[in-house]
Structure 1
């Protein structure tokens, strides 16, 4: 390990490695020192103003009473991190505090994201040699091992933390799907199945995980397992959402069963790997009845410790042509995540459930909506109404 090297692990239980020693949550006697260090780590290499730190760590205090507490906490944090013969990890600037940029840092969440970014837009991997494919599989497998749980578990000091947790969780699930495709390409079906089981355990509603799973089983003529998996997914949907199935999964199931029972046509006899590469998923589109069920389910999750979510109403003054509105909804779905939900309410309004997205993100999302509206050739800008559903509002 390099001198002054600090490794910070925050995807799951938080801990650091400094000068060859590991410090986890139990080593931090001062909880505010730990909270301060998490704040500085998340923002690095940017500084955080004194006012903002006081607001995060002691929201009940004004600046006059908060400053002495902050200075004392910085002193205690330096005692934990610093050695006597080197400059401090914590630097005070006129504008606030920052981690020392002359030190060496490694952050697990940034390494995790960097590896994902390396592959997410890479359309050439299906043409890799066997050696290149195995190297990519090893790198993605290593990155997934970094994900031990939610980002900054039990950290309550940042209003946008829920959004970041959702972001890294989404990366994890997307990475599982990409790795599974690579494993299938490399004829490593059992490893692919193990990762699919992990993905389903983490997100039991994500349809593409089941589609990939059924495709692998279908290629190996494991028809009874395809049927069992399909029935399992139907049961989950029926129990939680009152749905019998999603159309894409239903179509894929029928195609696999037909193919393996020897009744497929030339049109059905397609390359399964090509099918996997063409799968595109965005937000779920449903009717108002299903939307209400999902909304009520998400409210129940909040009481069990789930994240707040935001309800977005998009409306137009004039009744839109049905084709235009449908095009807008499809484009909107493509620009949202698979965990989000969209429902057409009537001919001039749409409701959207944004999972784990705080209301502070409304500016960015509004700009995206106006762009989608323009691309859909809708002549008027949509009106947007927001409501964040937290534990207090869900009661």
Structure 2
């Protein structure tokens, strides 16, 4: 039996003899072997195989280059035995169907599908066993030398999605049995592969809370928000917002005195300038202020500051300018807004400001002053700022 592994590493082995990418010394040889293994149930013409290996026409003689590559691969595979592993018939190449073969990715797929099916009728403990056995077959993402090939991308994505579903199902079972240390371990391993999956962050925070590490849970919540906002532009998170509410509720379960409460809500430094917070907190502040405006009939305004780049053709340069501009604007807001004002970053290029007890005219004056301070902090004409003002109103929120 020949065994081929492509999850996390590349190996081909038979009867105790193993070859890996170091033995192959050529990514093209690795690609050719994996291509033939993946599509071993069919034959490929020289033209089709060459198109898969040199999609950009990187060789002037693809047929000759393929013939040479096949020769080198056959010579290398002789270290595993004298069988003709690759055969040539009627002008086409294929893996020899007479040579038994198993692959780690197909074994992993079968185990995942079995876990999905059987876990519907099992006790939680048995579900965990089935999922853990499937997880033990996963060595990591598809081997990098082939992961980005056009003929591999959809397959690599499929196995990655199988892995993520397996982890999430397993976390659900761990949660039911309060096995939070194991949950933390698998979540951290999965996040090392995919840090942009909100649900993985949710389960990791859940695992930390289950181990009574509320401070670490809150810290990871903040880190997850930053990662998702920077990479995906997200500003609202369904699962993370839910778990944040759980963290706060747990912290508030204990019986506390006023001294405990003041210690908990006090700031590290003497308050000065605006209250800078994340969007989740700002949204709650807006809802509170909308109720206050409705009750007292006073004037408050919401300001939206938007940074834009002008006459910058290169996307990377424009993004770098925006990042610098947003950092400078944060400093301006912290220094020049009033102590009772609130501000938050809404997107990669926008800030929201809450201006209490402020008419439209006064709000416009505040924004103009901020724009002047910003131009002093960043005298770059390519970065422009515009503002919009809207009156805070209960009609913009669903009052319950």
TM-score, normalisation: structure 2: 0.55
2:5 is matched with 9
Are 1:252 and 2:270 matched, yes or no?
A: no
Give the deviation of 1:212 after TM superposition: 2.0
2:90 is matched with 94
Are 1:135 and 2:126 matched, yes or no?
A: no
The 5 A counterparts of 1:47-196 are 47-58=43-54, 59-60=57-58, 65-82=61-78, 86-94=82-90, 96-122=92-118, 124=120, 127-128=122-123, 130=125, 132-133=126-127, 135-144=129-138, 146-147=139-140, 149=141, 151-155=142-146, 158-196=149-187
Give the deviation of 1:134 after TM superposition: 5.0
1:37 is matched with 33
1:24 is matched with 20
Give the whole-Å Cα distance in 2 for the aligned partners of 1:204 and 1:83: 40
Deviation digits for residues 36-87 of structure 1 (CA, Å, limit 9, x no counterpart): 212201212222222211223453557xx44344333333322222479854
Are 1:261 and 2:252 matched, yes or no?
A: yes
> Based on CA coordinates, which of the two structures has the bigger radius of gyration?
2
Give the whole-Å Cα distance in 2 for the aligned partners of 1:248 and 1:241: 16
Give the deviation of 1:105 after TM superposition: 0.9
The 5 A counterparts of 1:231-380 are 231-241=222-232, 243-259=234-250, 261-262=252-253
Q: Secondary structure at the match of 1:159?
A: coil
2:275 is matched with none
Aligned length: 255
Give the deviation of 1:121 after TM superposition: 4.5
Give the whole-Å Cα distance in 2 for the aligned partners of 1:225 and 1:90: 54
Q: Indicate how the Cα distance of structure 1 residues 85 and 206 shifts in structure 2: closer, same or farther if over 3 A, else same.
A: closer
Residues 237 and 243 of structure 1 are in contact (CA less than 8 Å); yes or no, is this contact kept in structure 2?
Answer: yes
Give the whole-Å Cα distance in 2 for the aligned partners of 1:197 and 1:85: 41
Give the whole-Å Cα distance in 2 for the aligned partners of 1:157 and 1:237: 23
Q: Indicate how the Cα distance of structure 1 residues 247 and 28 shifts in structure 2: closer, same or farther if over 3 A, else same.
A: closer
Deviation digits for residues 113-148 of structure 1 (CA, Å, limit 9, x no counterpart): 1111222355526x4264x3453143033123x22x
Give the whole-Å Cα distance in 2 for the aligned partners of 1:57 and 1:143: 28
Give the deviation of 1:110 after TM superposition: 1.1
* Structure 2 gap segments, 5+ residues each: 255-314, 317-400
Q: Secondary structure at the match of 1:8?
A: strand
Deviation digits for residues 334-384 of structure 1 (CA, Å, limit 9, x no counterpart): xxxxxxxxxxxxxxxxxxxxxxxxxxxxxxxxxxxxxxxxxxxxxxxxxxx
**Larger displacement relative to structure 2 (249-258 or 105-114):** 249-258
Residues 54 and 61 of structure 1 are in contact (CA less than 8 Å); yes or no, is this contact kept in structure 2?
Answer: no
Deviation digits for residues 96-121 of structure 1 (CA, Å, limit 9, x no counterpart): 11111111211111112111122235
Q: Secondary structure at the match of 1:167?
A: helix
Residues 137 and 183 of structure 1 are in contact (CA less than 8 Å); yes or no, is this contact kept in structure 2?
Answer: no
Q: Secondary structure at the match of 2:18?
A: strand
Give the whole-Å Cα distance in 2 for the aligned partners of 1:259 and 1:156: 43
Q: Indicate how the Cα distance of structure 1 residues 135 and 227 shifts in structure 2: closer, same or farther if over 3 A, else same.
A: closer
Give the deviation of 1:207 after TM superposition: 1.4
Residues 189 and 216 of structure 1 are in contact (CA less than 8 Å); yes or no, is this contact kept in structure 2?
Answer: yes
Residues 221 and 260 of structure 1 are in contact (CA less than 8 Å); yes or no, is this contact kept in structure 2?
Answer: no
* Structure 1 gap segments, 5+ residues each: 264-298, 301-395
Give the whole-Å Cα distance in 1 for the aligned partners of 2:222 and 2:30: 46
Q: Secondary structure at the match of 2:137?
A: helix
Q: Secondary structure at the match of 2:3?
A: strand
